[in-house]
Structure formats: C-alpha cells, structure tokens
A and B are shown apart, each in its own frame.
Chain A
Amino acid sequence: QCPASKSMGGKGCGGEQIEESCRSLSLTGHVGFDSSPDQLVNKSINQGFCFNILCIGETGIGKSTLIDTLFNTHFDDRVANHFQPNVRLKAQTYDLHESNVRLKLTIVNTVGFGDQINKEDSYQPIVDYIDAQFEAYLQEELKIKRSLYSYHDTRIHVCLYFISPTGHSLKTLDLLTMKNLDSKVNIIPVIGKADTISKTELQKFKIKLMSELVSNGVQIYQFPTDDETISKINATMNGHLPFAVVGSLEEVKVGNKMVKARQYPWGIVQVENEHHCDFVKLREMLICTNMEDLREQTHTRHYELYRRCKLEEMGFRDTGPENKPVSVQETYEAKRHEFFGELQRKEEEMRQTFVQRVKEKEAILKEAERDLQAKFEHLKRLHQEERMKLEEKRKLLEDEMIVFSKRKAATELLQAQAFASTPTVSLKKDKDRKKDPGFRLEILCFDVKNQETDQEQREREKLERERFTHREFQK
C-alpha cells in the first residue's frame, strides 16, 4: 500500500512526520548507494583531517617527550626553564602523512604551568585559549559569507592532563584546573614519568586518583561503549585510567630487537611493553580507536555548550517572554535597534563632555587673557608714571639749565665788565667754573637722556613682547 501523501501546495513532509509515514522498502536489485560511505570518506580524505591536542602539566613532566613518542617524530627541541612569570600556551601545527591520510596535527603545550609561587591564575590562560578557539569557530559560523568546509579547525579535541607521579594523590592545582576544564574539553588524565613508581604503588595510586576525581565531580572523557565492535575494549580501557606513561625516542637493544626504551643501571624500561607502562594503551585509545569520537564530542557537546552560553549571554533566546518562539530575525533586529540607540547615546554623551571641556578651557584661557591685559595696563601705567616723573625731572633740569645759563650770561657780562675794568681776573677760574659744572651738567643731562631712552626702550620692548604674546593667545 502506498503511504498517504501530503498534497498541500508547497508543503512537504515535516522532519518528524516523515519518520512515521516513512516505510521500509525492499530492493529488488542492486542499486548501489552502499558506496555512499566510501564517497563520503573519499571526500574527507581529499579535504584532510584536523586533530588538536592540548598537553597540560608541570614543566619537566615529559609532555613533549610523550607527544614525540606517540607520533614517532622529534617535534620541538626547545626545553623550557622553570622561571616563567606566568603560564603561556605554545601551539605548533604539523602536517603528517600516512598512506593516503593527511592529518593537520596541532600540539598545544603549557609553558610554565605549576612553576609560579602563586598559582591562582595558572588555569585561566588555558581556559581562555580553549574559549578563544571556540570563539573563532563561532565567529566563522555566524558570518554571512562563510566557508566552513575549508575552515582550519583549531578547537582542542583532547586534553592530556599530566599528573605528577608522587604516589599520593592529586595536587590541588590539578583538581582546580581539571574542574575548570571538564565542561570545555575532553580530558584524558595520564601519569607522567611513570617509571618512578613501582607496580603495587601504581595500582593504589590509580585507585586513589580516580576516587578523588569522582568525589570532586570531575568529568573526564569516557571511551564510548555504544558501538559493539569497540565497546568491549573501550570498557576495559576505561578501567585502566589514568594511563601511566613513559616516553622515549631513544632505541635500546633488547634481545635481538631495537625498541624504544629508557636505560637505567638497574634495567631497561620498554615504552611499548604493556607490562612496563600503559603507553600502548594510550596510543591505541587516542589514535587508533577514538580519534573520530573525540572530534565529534568536541563539536557536538563542548562547542554546542559554549555556543549556547555565548548566545544566551548576548541576549538571544529561542522563546520570547510569553514563551512563544522568537525568530532570530526579530531578536537580531531588536538588538540592532538597541545597539544603534546605545551608539547614538554614547556619541551624544561624548559630544557633551567634549563641549564641556572646551568651554572650561576657553574660560581658563579668557581668565589668562584678562590677567595679562591687567598686567599690561598696570605696566603701562607704571611706565607712564615713570615717564612723567622723568619729564618732571627733565623739566626741572632744564629750568635749572636755563637759570644757570642766565646766571652764566649774567656772570659773563659781569666778568666782561669787570675785565673791561680789571683785566687780571682769573679767567681760568671762570673757565673752570664754566667747564666743570656745565660740562658735568651737560654730561649729566646727556646721561639722563640716555638713561631715559634706554629705560624707555627696554620698557617699550618689554611691552611689545607682552603685547605680541597676548595677540598670539588671542589667536
């Protein structure tokens, strides 16, 4: 029987409705769409894969060595010192090829983690980095013209947290950091430099660690057990967490083979020997079995959570105040109006403040001008007074000179008369008398005049200068 078809013009099957009205058909021959997974896989191979690992752990706990060992390559030779002022993150991307698979591997290391005296801010740069990668992806997704299929995905897919092999318990810093990261990234805890713990101690240590994590509510990554082919092995591996790892790229001869190992005077720790450490398990789980699941979890769980929180923070809602679904369009337009309003208000504010400041400045300048003007007037007055005084003095002097000349003329007359009568009058004395005071007087007069002009000149220059600067101010 044919299923009922919806024949309303323009309306097709809804998403949920189609599940009910869908019926299973049996094929009478080979159609060929079983090649669809292959087509999809081929496309992905052409595009290449991205995988991003974040390693958190104290300096010197063996992060770089472990990564080198996992991927069989020397990545970065530089060793960090213990005197970093704060925690930094260092990221490097590598292009790896294996058969026809191209992998873009990004390794992010924490530099200086656990080295500071005050470790309160140690985990914050890590959280910020992870959020920044989510933010970059969200921005790309929200763009109008976007290209998601060629986007280089930098979101962290897995975080390897290195625990110090103390043998006792988790450090407070470890708990704090993991608690802050467990909702943002898949955490796989590993015990670094595990060759410093004996087997029995290791068992107790692992149990203690896991119970501490559980009692503090830290959600570490659980290997998925829903696929029958891998559920068994994943479940077993879940019981071996945290993995006790040893890393080494150096090869040592054991038996008749060269194996990756660390050579001690008392023996050789083989990296790939499952009795010695859990390195093989880690590699198996991380790369061979669950890489795709890690990527998927990051995208569908952690990223979606971040996105939801971020959008809610920005004020977007799926349902309006009356619980009616609000379209993003409406929210967006409302936000835009609001934003423009804010912008205009802020502009007005700024303009007002600016106008205010300018007024104040103008007032100050006017004050200064007035002061200057007052000073100028004052100086002018002084100058006038001085001048007048000098004029008076000059007048006095001139009067005196006139008087003196009169007296001189008179005495000369007298002398001439006297000379006419007595020719032996001491001319010298008169001459001397004439010369000295007269000359002195003239010199005096001359000097006073000079003094006057000099002083006047100086005063005038001073006033000119002041007038000039005042004019500049006015401009």
Chain B
Amino acid sequence: MSKASKAETDAAMSDLVPEPRQKPVVPMKPVSINSNLLGYIGIDTIIEQMRKKTMKTGFDFNIMVVGQSGLGKSTLVNTLFKSQVSRKSSGWNREEKIPKTVEIKAIGHVIEEGGVKMKLTVIDTPGFGDQINNENCWEPIEKYINEQYEKFLKEEVNIARKKRIPDTRVHCCLYFISPTGHSLRPLDLEFMKHLSKVVNIIPVIAKADTMTLEEKIEFKQRVRKELEVNGIEFYPQKEFDEDLEDKTENDKIRQESMPFAVVGSDKEYQVNGKRVLGRKTPWGIIEVENLNHCEFALLRDFVIRTHLQDLKEVTHNIHYETYRAKRLNDNGGLPPMTVETEENHESNP
C-alpha cells in the first residue's frame, strides 16, 4: 500500500478507538515532609484511645491441640488457662467404639482478667494418631482450618459486612511430641510438614518429667535438627521477623528454648510454704511453674503474655492472605471459552 493510503487507514482506525479517559485532576501521591514539633499537642493520647477501644471490644483466641491420646493435652490446656477448659477424656472404654476418623471438637469459653475479656476457643482433636492405620489423619484437621478461613473470607466478601467479623480461625496449634528421647516419629513429621504452611505450629514435648536434664537437651537438639532438615517452619517463623529486635529475640527462642518441654497439672501441693501446681511422685514434687523443673512457664509466657497478638496477626496477615489469594486465583483461572458457551451466552437476554 502506498504511504498516503496507510495514513488514511490509520486515521480511520483512530476514529474507531475511543480517546483514553482523562486522569482525574486530584493529587494522589502526597509529599512527605518531616516536621519538628514545638510544644505538646496530644497525639500520644491516641494510644490510650486505642487501648480503651480494644478493651471494650475484647479479644478472640483460638488454640488447637494435636497429639496422640494420653500425652496430656487437656491437662496442659487447663494449666495454661488456670481453669477447667477441657474435659479430660478418660480413655476409650472397651465398650465405646474408637472413632474411625479424627474428630474436631471446639469448645468456647469467656474468661476475664484485669478488665480484659477474652473469648477462648480450644479445639481438640481426639483420635489423632490413635488408629492402626494413621494415613492422612491430618486431613480432617487441615480441612477444619481451611473451613475457618473460608468462613472468614465469605464474611469479608459480603456486600453488607458485619461490623466485627467473628474470628474462628485457628491462631495457634500446639503439637505434642512423645518424649521417646530418640527422635520424631514419621507421623509427627508428616503432620507438621503439611500443616506448618497453613497454621502456626508450636511443637511441645509432652510429659517432660520422664527425661533427665541431659536427655532433655539432647532430645531437643535432635528434634530441632530434624525439623530443620525436613524444612518445617514452626512458629515463630524466620521469614516473618519484622525487625532486628524481633529477630534476635525470636532467634533465641527458636534455637534454645523450642520445642518447650512441658509438664501439666491442675492439682496444687504445698511446697516450701507455698501452694504450687505440681505432680506428686514418690521421689518428689514436680513443680509445673518452676523453670528448673520444666518449661511450662516459658510456654505460657510465650503464647499468652508476649506473642498472643503476634500469633493472631501472623494468622491474619499471612496464613489467611495465602489462603485467600489461592482461592481467588483458582476462581480467576476459568477454562477457555468454547463455542457452545458463546452461543449459550448470546442467547441469554
């Protein structure tokens, strides 16, 4: 084609393509300027305002305990929250049927301390690891966790949303390791491998009063090594350390304290004039909250007093977001449009 006619076709095309929409004439990117303050304004009162608001709304916390039966899960949860949160199962009677699959039992409680209300939900998983064939016994658990994410997502995506979406997502999963003294069992590894990607896992060594101090240290080292070798990232995950301060603090916990070797008890005994929680044995009283005896106090401080909010945030900002992104991406990947679909669509009014 000659040049003249090409130009003419270009002109014809530009008549068909509409002009691009004009960008709105509003400033979208403000400029940052640092200012010095002269005199007190009162901006720091926002801390108080925020604190008051959070105390009024209260907190949700959902903790899941996973482990073979008889490892002391219920006792530990009761000790953690200093109340009869879980009903201890007295084992399976011969007459009762052992459940074929893992059950998920969630029980909610409202506890208050110091003006702060907390809605605590303990999710128990009886039947985990108790069958002869334990293949895929983590699947019901994974399904439950994903269901909670799905519930939250559905609420979030509604047109008319609730002011405060009820949070049933699992914030923390305590995994109980049997104190064999050797190494992790294949079931342990499989479970943690699958679930460390969807939930915060905190491994604990149960019934730690069966090990001496040296055995404890060795066992912990071996467990840590095995977890590392298998690429299992337990909470606090290295990649989510926000700043140097967090990193050093969390490194210390990751490399020395975890997994916590715990002992649980809800009975009190008299020791040195004080009433303490403990287990009475012929050879002495094991004090639960004594750091020389076991690491229960460390676990309690870690989960409740320092990292409670962080557990919730990692669940919300990372695990939930991962789930959401995956879910929305699956939706977006529609199959290629076939001719029939087009025709069907054309016929739709």
Check if A292 sits within 8 Å of B49, measured CB to CB: yes
Within 8 A of A (CB), among B262-302: 300-301
With an 8 A cutoff between CB atoms, is B308 at the interface?
Answer: yes
With an 8 A cutoff between CB atoms, is A453 at the interface?
Answer: no
Q: Once the chains are docked, how many angstroms separate the CA of A405 from the CA of B116? A: 140
Shortest Cβ distance from A23 into B: residue: B109
Check if A39 sits within 8 Å of B306, measured CB to CB: yes
Shortest Cβ distance from A97 into B: residue: B37
Chain A residues whose CB sits within 8 angstroms of the CB of B105 once the complex forms: 5-7
Check if A73 sits within 8 Å of B54, measured CB to CB: no
Q: Once the chains are docked, how many angstroms separate the CA of A345 from the CA of B179? A: 68
Q: Once the chains are docked, how many angstroms separate the CA of A6 from the CA of B36? A: 58
Query: Do most interface residues of chain B lie in helix, strand or loop, or is the interface mixed?
Result: mixed
**What distance in Å separates the Cβ of B223 from its nearest Cβ neighbour in chain A?**
26
Against B, the Cβ 8 Å flags (1 = close, 0 = not) of A86-123 are: 00111111111111110100100000000000000000
Q: Once the chains are docked, how many angstroms separate the CA of A200 from the CA of B80? A: 65
Q: Once the chains are docked, how many angstroms separate the CA of A472 from the CA of B5? A: 11
With an 8 A cutoff between CB atoms, is B133 at the interface?
Answer: no
With an 8 A cutoff between CB atoms, is A146 at the interface?
Answer: yes
Q: With A95-B32, A289-B49 in contact, do A73 and B37 touch (Cβ < 8 Å)?
A: yes
Check if B110 sits within 8 Å of A341, measured CB to CB: no
Chain A residues whose CB sits within 8 angstroms of the CB of B107 once the complex forms: 2-3, 5, 13, 21
Q: Once the chains are docked, how many angstroms separate the CA of A13 from the CA of B2? A: 75
With an 8 A cutoff between CB atoms, is B97 at the interface?
Answer: no
Against B, the Cβ 8 Å flags (1 = close, 0 = not) of A337-348 are: 110110010000
**What distance in Å separates the Cβ of A306 from its nearest Cβ neighbour in chain B?**
12
Check if B309 sits within 8 Å of A287, measured CB to CB: no
Query: Which one of A31, A101, A106, A300 contacts B82 once the chains associate, using CB atoms below 8 Å?
Result: A31
Check if B159 sits within 8 Å of A308, measured CB to CB: yes
Q: Once the chains are docked, how many angstroms separate the CA of A31 from the CA of B321? A: 31
Query: Which one of A136, A145, A336 contacts B325 once the chains associate, using CB atoms below 8 Å?
Result: A145
With an 8 A cutoff between CB atoms, is B334 at the interface?
Answer: yes
Within 8 A of A (CB), among B31-65: 31-47, 49-56, 59, 61
Against A, the Cβ 8 Å flags (1 = close, 0 = not) of B1-40 are: 1100100110011001000000011111011111111111
Query: Which one of A9, A89, A227, A361 contacts B26 once the chains associate, using CB atoms below 8 Å?
Result: A89
Shortest Cβ distance from A13 into B: residue: B106
Q: Once the chains are docked, how many angstroms separate the CA of A328 from the CA of B342? A: 22
Q: With A93-B31, A329-B331 in contact, do A354 and B13 touch (Cβ < 8 Å)?
A: yes
Q: With A32-B301, A94-B35, A472-B2 in contact, do A10 and B143 touch (Cβ < 8 Å)?
A: yes
Query: Which one of A288, A307, A312, A361 contacts B8 once the chains associate, using CB atoms below 8 Å?
Result: A361
> What is the size, in residues, of chain A's interface with B at 8 Å between Cβ atoms?
114
With an 8 A cutoff between CB atoms, is A264 at the interface?
Answer: no
Query: Which one of B52, B118, B119 contacts A227 once the chains associate, using CB atoms below 8 Å?
Result: B52
Q: With A12-B123, A21-B108, A41-B51 in contact, do A475 and B2 touch (Cβ < 8 Å)?
A: yes
With an 8 A cutoff between CB atoms, is B94 at the interface?
Answer: no
Q: Which of A31, A49, A96, A283 has the most CB of B within 10 A?
A: A31
Q: With A31-B80, A34-B114, A475-B1 in contact, do A357 and B28 touch (Cβ < 8 Å)?
A: no
Q: Once the chains are docked, how many angstroms separate the CA of A37 from the CA of B56? A: 10
Q: With A9-B104, A22-B119 in contact, do A98 and B35 touch (Cβ < 8 Å)?
A: no
Chain B residues whose CB sits within 8 angstroms of the CB of A316 once the complex forms: 159
With an 8 A cutoff between CB atoms, is B200 at the interface?
Answer: no
Check if B310 sits within 8 Å of A10, measured CB to CB: no
Q: Once the chains are docked, how many angstroms separate the CA of A181 from the CA of B112? A: 42
Check if B38 sits within 8 Å of A72, measured CB to CB: yes
Binds A, one of B161-169, B207-215, B230-238, B249-257: B161-169
Q: What are 12 A-B interface contacts by the 8 Å CB criterion? A: A5-B107, A10-B104, A13-B121, A23-B109, A32-B301, A33-B118, A36-B309, A93-B30, A292-B49, A307-B159, A333-B334, A361-B12
Q: A residues touching B (Cβ–Cβ < 8 Å)?
A: 2-3, 5-7, 9-13, 15-16, 18, 21-46, 49, 70-73, 75, 88-101, 103, 106, 125, 128-129, 132, 136, 144-146, 148-149, 154, 227, 229, 283-284, 287-293, 296, 300, 304, 307-308, 311-312, 316-318, 327-329, 332-333, 336-338, 340-341, 344, 350, 353-354, 357-358, 361, 365, 472-473, 475
Extra contacts besides A39-B307, A365-B5 (20): CB < 8 Å: A2-B87, A6-B105, A6-B106, A10-B143, A12-B148, A12-B168, A13-B168, A15-B168, A32-B113, A32-B300, A36-B54, A37-B54, A40-B50, A89-B27, A95-B34, A98-B37, A125-B26, A358-B12, A361-B12, A472-B2
Counting from the closest, the 10 A-B pairs by CB-CB distance are: A34-B114, A15-B166, A39-B309, A292-B49, A12-B106, A93-B30, A288-B42, A32-B305, A18-B108, A29-B82
Q: B residues touching A (Cβ–Cβ < 8 Å)?
A: 1-2, 5, 8-9, 12-13, 16, 24-28, 30-47, 49-56, 59, 61, 80-85, 87, 101-116, 118-119, 121, 123, 140, 143-144, 147-148, 151, 154, 157-161, 163, 166, 168, 242-243, 300-301, 304-310, 313, 317, 321, 324-325, 328-329, 331-332, 334, 337, 341-342, 345-346
